Structure 1
Amino acid sequence: MLKTKTAGFAQRDYPTEVGRFYWKPYFGSRSYFVATVSEQSLSLVQEYIKNQ
């Protein structure tokens, strides 16, 4: 629900800015993932990705 509401607010309040990156009427898809890590765990995440 948070993602849906946030996407709606961004499209409503910033249509020009958002439109440059999202030309379809939705932001997310089932095949996209974003995460953040701290500097302390960055090397662990990089090693994990490298070994996949």
Structure 2
Amino acid sequence: METWLEEAASWTKFTAEIKKKTVNVVHERIEHKPAGIGNNYDTLVKYRNGMLVKY
């Protein structure tokens, strides 16, 4: 893990495959969140914006 993180800091490009996998995992994680903190893109943005204004 430590070696991977050191290498990741120098990455400048992502392949289409890596991008697709990353986006899919992010969407999967969002879907499993409670509705109150955003479980899709629109509700997640609304929650984030509300927290930015609140604090």
Q: TM-score, normalised by structure 2?
A: 0.31
Relative contact order higher in (CA < 8 Å, ≥ 6 apart) = 1
Higher helix share goes to which structure? 2
Q: TM-score, normalised by structure 1?
A: 0.32
